[in-house]
Structure 1
Amino acid sequence: MGKNISVDGRVVWDPALRVAQLFQAQLAAVEEVLGVASGVDEPIDDEIEIDWPVFEAFVRHLLETLATTGHPVMHLLLEGLAETCVGVHHAATDSRIDAPTAVDDLVDRAIKLPFRPS
């Protein structure tokens, strides 16, 4: 049993329960540290809705932070969440997010991951 993550009522990712819980926990921590909302709502039953404009701004801010941080541990901590968010973005839009060139490799990896629901 997992969660359905949706944009405008369309499921874009259906991670397993524990994966969804970890994703949400990481989002909450990074929202607090960066001071930016993610746009990913709290689950209702097994459904999680994404406020798309807020999420897209969050992902861009996260990628910009990754591209400019000089702290290697901060970069490492943010990298996994950023790759997940880029994968969700790609699953929702079927397009490559415009990102700083410093994170091109991360974006390239993320868009190859199987985020689309089964």
Structure 2
Amino acid sequence: MGPLSYEFETADRTRTLWDPALKVGKLYVSLARGAGELLELPTGLTPNERGGADVDISTFQAFTQGLYDTCCATRNVLMHDLLRGLLLASIVMLEKGGGTIVRKPDREAGLLDDRDAYVRRMWVED
């Protein structure tokens, strides 16, 4: 039997950022890859030999900031909604890895209202 989860770890493998079910992890990577191509930003996610992904935090931080800036700048409700779940999951992983984004609260319009719920759902024991 193959792996049951898709573990996201820091590139130096000192911290697990998220350990979702295999299909959830693969979907996240696919969505991130697509968004990265659209925004012309590398994701910082590198598949590893264990069936998960290593996350280069500095590159991933720039990617997550790009997602956030795009969500805050768009007036297109569908674009906003399509990117929102990816963004929230990315912010939780980024913060777990010690990174952060520069926020523009006056432009968020409730964008991060569900952040705490994502933190609880994505919780990984250190």
1:28 equivalenced with 2:33 (yes/no)? yes
Q: Distance in 2 between matches of 1:60 and 1:29?
A: 16
1:117 equivalenced with 2:119 (yes/no)? no
The runs of 4+ residues in structure 1 deviating greater than 4 Å are: none
Q: Flag the structure with higher helix content.
A: 1
1:78 equivalenced with 2:83 (yes/no)? yes
Question: Equivalent of 1:60, from 48, 61, 65?
Answer: 65
1:98 equivalenced with 2:102 (yes/no)? yes
Q: CA offsets, 1:78-106, max 9 Å, x none?
A: 1110011011112222x764312123743
Q: Distance in 2 between matches of 1:92 and 1:109?
A: 19
| Structure 2: unaligned runs, 5 residues or longer | none
Q: Distance in 1 between matches of 2:109 and 2:62?
A: 18
TM-score, L = length of structure 1:
0.86
Matches within 5 A, 1:8-47: 8-9=12-13, 10-47=15-52
Q: 1:117 offset after TM fit, Å?
A: 1.9
Q: 1:27 offset after TM fit, Å?
A: 0.6
SS in 1 for 2:8: strand
User: Contact 1:96 / 1:111 at 8 angstroms: preserved in 2?
Assistant: no
Residue 104 to residue 32, structure 1, CA distance change in 2 (3 Å): same
The structure having more radius of gyration, on CA atoms, is: 2
- Paired residues, what number? 117
1:6 equivalenced with 2:9 (yes/no)? yes
| Structure 1: unaligned runs, 5 residues or longer | none
Residue identity opposite 1:11 in structure 2: T
SS in 2 for 1:41: strand
TM-score, L = length of structure 2:
0.81
- Aligned alpha-carbon RMSD (Å): 1.9
Q: Distance in 2 between matches of 1:74 and 1:43?
A: 30
Q: Distance in 1 between matches of 2:77 and 2:113?
A: 20
Residue identity opposite 2:104 in structure 1: P
